[in-house]
C-alpha cells in the first residue's frame, strides 16, 4: 500500500514477462500490493534492543519468544525439575495454564534454556513464571552472554492497549506469542508520558473491492483503495531501531501490522489473503471498535503518489496516544497519560 516518503528514495521498477493474460494480471496485482506497503525509506531507530527471534510456531497458533533474554518473576514451576526439548513446548506448557476457563492466568511468562552447549546441566529447563505487572515484565538481563529464551503469554482480557484518538479509542489485543519483538516495543511506548509524532496520516476505505465484513468481492480489483488506515508509532526524540520481521497470521479485518520494520503501521479494514504473510501482525482491533477505524477512513483526503502507487492522504492527520488499559478495556489510572 505504500510508505510515506520522508526522504528521497530509489524507485522500484517492476519488469513483467509477457505470458498468459491471466498470469500477468495476477502478478501485477501482487506486485502493486507489495510495493504499496513497502519502500526503501530509512528508518530511524528504537531504544528496544533487537534480539534473535526463535522461529518456532505451529498450525494451532504462534509460540515464539526472544532469545538471549531472561525474564524474572515469581516461579510457578521450577525449571530444575520441569524440562522440555524445545522452547515451543515450554511456551505451550505456559499456555496450558492460561486457558481463561479457571480464572486468571497462572502462568504469563516462560523461560527456556535450549542451547545444549551453553546451558550444560540447565539444558531443557522450562521455568514458568507469573509477573506482578504483565505490561512491565521483570527483566533480569539480556545480551549475547544470556543463555535463556523468554516469552510472554496474555490471557483473555489481558494485553489490551488503547490507541486514543479524537474519534474514539481503538482497543488493540497484542500478540506476544506471535510477535514478541513488536510487543516489547509497544510496551516501551507505554512507559512514555507522551507519544508526540504518533498519528494516522493515510486513510483508504474498502471501495468496491470488499464488502462490509471485509470479504473480497469476486473479480474486483485489490486496490487502490486498499482498505487501510496507516500511521506511525514513533515518539519524537527517541531512538528507533528496526523491528525484525516476525512471520504471523494473514492480514484480516482488524489486523494491526507494521509496514516493513516499523515504526509505520496500518490497521486493515478488510481481509487481505493476497498479501500472504508479508507483514508482521502484532495485534488486532477488538471488533466493536472497528467502527472507529471506519470513521477515520471516511475523513477528507487528498491524492498523492508513493512509489508509483496512488494513495489517499488525510488532509488533517489524526494524532493518537498509546494507552495502557486494564482487562476491561479501561484506562489504567496508575499510568501517566497525556
Average pLDDT, rounded, for the chain: 81
What pLDDT does 170 receive? 97
Q: Is the pLDDT of residue 30 over 90?
A: no
pLDDT tens sequence across 171-183: 999 999 999 999 9
Contact residues for 23 (Cβ-Cβ < 8 A; gap 6+): none
What pLDDT does 300 receive? 97
d(CA 148, CA 141): 10
d(CA 41, CA 229): 19
Q: Is the pLDDT of residue 57 over 50?
A: no
pLDDT tens sequence across 300-326: 999 999 988 889 999 999 999 999 886
Most confidently predicted of 51-55, 110-114, 223-227: 110-114
Contact 238, 209 (CB under 8 A): no
pLDDT tens sequence across 221-236: 887 899 999 999 988 7
C-alpha cell of residue 185: 516495543
Buried b vs exposed e over 253-277: b needs ≥16 C-beta within 10 Å?
bbbbbbbbbbbbbbbbbbbbebbee
What pLDDT does 337 receive? 34
What pLDDT does 109 receive? 97
What pLDDT does 123 receive? 97
Q: Which helix (H) or strand (E) holds 326?
A: none
Residue 331: band (very low, low, confident or very high) from pLDDT cuts 50, 70, 90: low
d(CA 233, CA 91): 28
pLDDT tens sequence across 63-105: 999 999 999 999 999 999 999 999 999 999 999 999 876 667 8
Higher-confidence residue of 51 and 93: namely: 93
160, 158, 152: which is closest to 176 by C-alpha? 152
Angle made by CA atoms 269, 245, 94, in degrees to the nearest 5: 90
Q: What is the pTM of this model?
A: 0.80
163, 325, 140, 177: which is closest to 230 by C-alpha? 163
d(CA 99, CA 102): 7
Higher-confidence residue of 191 and 286: namely: 286
Higher-confidence residue of 21 and 143: namely: 143
Least confident of 178-182, 193-197, 290-294: 193-197
209: region left, alpha or beta (phi > 0 left; psi from -120 to 50 alpha)? alpha
Higher-confidence residue of 333 and 203: namely: 203
Amino acid at each position: 500500500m505504500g510508505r510515506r516518503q520522508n526522504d528521497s528514495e530509489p524507485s522500484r521498477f517492476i519488469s513483467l514477462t509477457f505470458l498468459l493474460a491471466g498470469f500477468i494480471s495476477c502478478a501485477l496485482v501482487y506486485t502493486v500490493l507489495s510495493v504499496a506497503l513497502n519502500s526503501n525509506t530509512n528508518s530511524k531507530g528504537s531504544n528496544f534492543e533487537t534480539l534473535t527471534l526463535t522461529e518456532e510456531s505451529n498450525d494451532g497458533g504462534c509460540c515464539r519468544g526472544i532469545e538471549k533474554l531472561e525474564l524474572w518473576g515469581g516461579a510457578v514451576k521450577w525449571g530444575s525439575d520441569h524440562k522440555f526439548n524445545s522452547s515451543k513446548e515450554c511456551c505451550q506448557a505456559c499456555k496450558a495454564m492460561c486457558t481463561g476457563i479457571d480464572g486468571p492466568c497462572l502462568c504469563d511468562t516462560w523461560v527456556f534454556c535450549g542451547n545444549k552447549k551453553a546451558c550444560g546441566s540447565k539444558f531443557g529447563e522450562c521455568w514458568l513464571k507469573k509477573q506482578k505487572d504483565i505490561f512491565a515484565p521483570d527483566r533480569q538481563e539480556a545480551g549475547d552472554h544470556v543463555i535463556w529464551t523468554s516469552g510472554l503469554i496474555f490471557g483473555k482480557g489481558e494485553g489490551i492497549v488503547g490507541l486514543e484518538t479524537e474519534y474514539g479509542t481503538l482497543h488493540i489485543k497484542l500478540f506476544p506469542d506471535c510477535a514478541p519483538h513488536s510487543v516489547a516495543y509497544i510496551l516501551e511506548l507505554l512507559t512514555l508520558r507522551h507519544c508526540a509524532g504518533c498519528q494516522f496520516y493515510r486513510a483508504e476505505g474498502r471501495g468496491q473491492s470488499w464488502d462490509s465484513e471485509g470479504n473480497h468481492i469476486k473479480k474486483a480489483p485489490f486496490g487502490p483503495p486498499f482498505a487501510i488506515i496507516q500511521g506511525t508509532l514513533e515518539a519524537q526524540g527517541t531512538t528507533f531501531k528496526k523491528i525484525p520481521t516476525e512471520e504471523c497470521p494473514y492480514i484480516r479485518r482488524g489486523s494491526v501490522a507494521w509496514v516493513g520494520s516499523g515504526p509505520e503501521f496500518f490497521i486493515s479494514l478488510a481481509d487481505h489473503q493476497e498479501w500472504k504473510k508479508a507483514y508482521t501482525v502484532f495485534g488486532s482491533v477488538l471488533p466493536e471498535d472497528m467502527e472507529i477505524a471506519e470513521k477515520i477512513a471516511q475523513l477528507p483526503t487528498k491524492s498523492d503518489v508513493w512509489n508509483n502507487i496512488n494513495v489517499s492522504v488525510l488532509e488533517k492527520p489524526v494524532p493518537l496516544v498509546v494507552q495502557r488499559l486494564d482487562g476491561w478495556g479501561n484506562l489504567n489510572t496508575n499510568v501517566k497519560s497525556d
